[in-house]
Structure 1
Amino acid sequence: MKKKYLIASAAVIMLSCGSSNKTSTSSTTTKTETVSKSTNNVNFYAETITEAELKADLMIYASDEFEGRLTGQPGQKKAVEFLKKRYIDLNIPAAKSDGNYFQDVPLEIAKSPEATLTINDSKFELGHDYVSVLSSDSGTINTNEVVFAGFGIEDEAYSDYSSVDITGQVVLLKSGEPQKADGTYIISGTSEASEWSNFRKEMTLKRDIAREKGAKAVLFYAPKDYKNAVKRFGNSNGRITLQDKKEQLYFFLIDTKLATAILPNIEKTQKQATIKTTFNLDYKKVNEEIHSENVAAFIKGTDKADEVIVVSAHLDHEGIKNGEIYNGADDDGSGTVALLEIAEAFKMAKNNGQGPRRSILFLHVTGEEKGLLGSKYYSDIDPIIPLEETMVDLNIDMIGRTDPKRKSDNRNYIYLIGSDKLSTDLHNLSEQVNTSCCNIELDYTFNDDNDPNRFYYRSDHYNFAKNNIPVIFYFNGTHDDYHKPTDTPDKIEYDLLENRTRLVFYTAWELANREAKITADKVAE
């Protein structure tokens, strides 16, 4: 355990907030003053977050010993053991009720399945005429009918399932949504299409509805998006995904040749029907199962313990490529060590009888670089803390460097993303906290809804935001060493890392101890 300061109940020491320039760390070796248990002295605890301790942790965490922390590989196992030991040394308990700091995240390395498909004695080729989207178990289907369920929509304004039963059936669906004769959309009631016409969203929605209604297999016809789908799913070898533990479902995107072999007039047909056709599928799954871990520690609140603040960072990186280790010091070693320092500061306050009023979950997630997999597993499958009790997520991903493309000479900045997307209150609080403590330039460049980089969707906060949980994403932007073996600890600007970590701490402190609960006044997109 790192030794910090002895906390008793004698004198009150008032300390300054983080400076806008390089902050001296000399106090970390001389400070032995005590803090009154009756004083809610946030500044004292913020000052315990120092360059020196951030650097000490990062020099270990982003060292060659950790082999680039590739998801599911030995280096990542060393990383989670390091985090576990740090929380044990800090005497911060595990978040899980069984005392285990690790939340197992079942993954698999996707490999193209082996499959043969014939329809009416015509053979169709996997990867050309159809692509497998879900990783399904090995099995066969032999049937003499396919149910056409139109657009596959189940909505208050419209349903394709009112006249068909798809239990145990092979189901044919097509993309898009119905329109009236005047061109307006039935679901929206306007000339604007709804989410049922957004390929990424509709594919997920239609898949899940068909699964809930008992379909055995789904053939999804989306001709405008099929070529891109083939590029994405046609050769998935090596792609790491979550293991799908839901009800078994074969889900295929299909091309026009296959769709018209079942229903020749599918483009113009909307009426649901059971089509007499022979359908024979032999499917063999060849994926390799692997396992990874989220690391979760927890400080229980006092009088508002059922309202929980999540502070998150991802623990993984790119591993070793062509013999070179991708250390990931900024991405996201910087966020990882920041999270440890914030946790330690809150634990010191807890030990001294100074809150927090609300509980805090310190969540290190795996598989971010593979598609936000650890946070997706947490939010969609096995939340340790019920999502309805989760008030906000503060996500830290790359806060140790500067963006060379940024058009400003002020290096003391941070990009904030998402703070106003769901909660006006959270955004205002964030601004006020920064003004009172840190005076960092808050840059909202990448918060624009039209940001071509789509950073809002590219880090772990998004899996909370999509569930209408307010978020803030703290980010320094990319740089020349982003996702390269040159992202090493010596490149980190530790004074900035200290200031930014303190900002997150101050924000979390205010969220944890204010009287009013942060709520979402907007709806997730």
Structure 2
Amino acid sequence: MRAILASSILSLSLFSTACVAIQPDGESGDWSLNREQLLSDLSVLAADDMEGRAVGTDGNARARAYIIDRLEAMGVEPVGDSYEHGFSFEMPRTRDKVDGTNILARIEGVSDSARTMVVSAHFDHEGMRGEQIWNGADDNASGVASVLAVAEMFMAEPPEHDVIFAFVDAEENGLQGARAFVAAPPIPVENITFNLNMDMVAMSTDRILWAVGTYHYPYLTPIVEDVASRATVSMPMGYDEPTEEPGGDWTNLTDSGAFHAAGIPFIYLGVDFHPHYHQPTDTYENMTLDFFQDASEAIADFARQSDAQLDMIGEASGR
């Protein structure tokens, strides 16, 4: 299957670029978001032949192969000898052992700083219910596609600090891939200075991309405000304060919660709950694609700004 996917990637990579990303100085750089490639990544990962990408399934393995082939085509190096980093966990109800696989890649920074940013998104979803495929276009093929775009940006314009790209597995089973990463990180955990996590970034009729995390780490607020001032989507802050309201605090609802539990500052970018969330209607055809492309521009800008401010983040957090 890897060979088949590799040939598809070569054809996908020929799409033209469209919209220029904003650089930290407010001027256009050499990199621009390949909007058609972004949509192609979303479409492929949310396609029926991925069978919903549930952990431990053939569809999940096909999704991994696609992501790895995209990284290889970009020239992004693996972390260690392989992109694939396995882990195991028990299903809460059945106590069955399940094997998951994270995909880890790295782009080295141009400085000699040991501080590292982890850019993450989970690639698994709910899989199949009988014959019904739960495609998981927004949750979270969209986050994976946006992280691949960030990797393309940093390959074109190298970051100041090392960046690890973590495509984690088994998020839908209790953040298992992210927990495994934090429990046994590929670098000293004290060097992990910041986590930028994307989960559900393609479906918003109101064109709102929430920035979650500034309640816990208020020194990140200026970065959010700076990026929001240029973004063509709305980027409010919130959904991170303790509350008894169901669904009112997203702090531990996605993979950034595992980083937060380890004291690693984070920002989680994602849309609000919508009718397609955890439904079989979470398909490519039901996404708000113009918003997704614009949100991915803002995500790339956020990654660039976070890299530029990583020493500030480290000093503020003591990391």
Considering the TM-score relative to the shorter chain, is it more than 0.5?
Answer: yes
CA contact under 8 A between 2:87 and 2:177: conserved in structure 1?
yes
Q: Secondary structure at the match of 1:443?
A: coil
Say yes or no: does 1:429 pair with 2:231.
no
Provide the rounded CA distance (Å) in 1 between the counterparts of 2:37 and 2:108: 25
Say if 1:516 and 1:378 are closer, same or farther in 2 by CA, change over 3 A.
closer
Which moved further from structure 2: 315-324 or 452-461? 452-461
Say yes or no: does 1:377 pair with 2:146.
no
Say if 1:402 and 1:77 are closer, same or farther in 2 by CA, change over 3 A.
same
More helix by share: 2
Equivalent of 1:90 in 74, 78, 91 = 74
Which moved further from structure 2: 69-78 or 505-514? 505-514
**TM-score, normalised by the number of residues in structure 1:** 0.54
Provide the rounded CA distance (Å) in 2 between the counterparts of 1:440 and 1:402: 10
Shift of 1:521: 4.6
**2:6 aligned partner:** none
CA contact under 8 A between 1:317 and 1:328: conserved in structure 2?
yes
**1:363 aligned partner:** 166
For the aligned residue pairs, the C-alpha RMSD in angstroms reads 2.6
**1:294 aligned partner:** 102
Shift of 1:106: 1.5
Give, as a single letter, the amino acid of the residue that structure 2 aligns with 1:483.
Answer: H
Name structure 2 gaps, 5 residues minimum.
Answer: 1-9
Provide the rounded CA distance (Å) in 2 between the counterparts of 1:94 and 1:289: 27
Say if 1:515 and 1:103 are closer, same or farther in 2 by CA, change over 3 A.
closer
Q: Deviations over 1:35-70 (max 9, x none)?
A: xxxx988733563242x2221111111011001001
Shift of 1:360: 0.8
Provide the rounded CA distance (Å) in 1 between the counterparts of 2:172 and 2:287: 20
Summarize the alignment of residues 335-354 of structure 1 with structure 2, pairs less than 5 Å apart. 335-349=143-157
**1:315 aligned partner:** 123
Name structure 1 gaps, 5 residues minimum.
Answer: 7-13, 19-38, 111-235, 238-286, 350-354, 404-410
Summarize the alignment of residues 197-346 of structure 1 with structure 2, pairs less than 5 Å apart. 236-237=93-94, 287-346=95-154
Provide the rounded CA distance (Å) in 1 between the counterparts of 2:71 and 2:28: 23
Equivalent of 1:73 in 53, 57, 82 = 57
**1:449 aligned partner:** 242
Provide the rounded CA distance (Å) in 2 between the counterparts of 1:16 and 1:377: 33
Equivalent of 1:504 in 274, 299, 308 = 299
Provide the rounded CA distance (Å) in 2 between the counterparts of 1:426 and 1:54: 27
**1:482 aligned partner:** 277
**2:210 aligned partner:** 415
**TM-score, normalised by the number of residues in structure 2:** 0.87
Say if 1:4 and 1:316 are closer, same or farther in 2 by CA, change over 3 A.
same
**1:469 aligned partner:** 264
**2:43 aligned partner:** 59
Q: How many residues align?
A: 304
- Aligned-residue sequence identity (percent) comes to 25
Shift of 1:301: 0.5
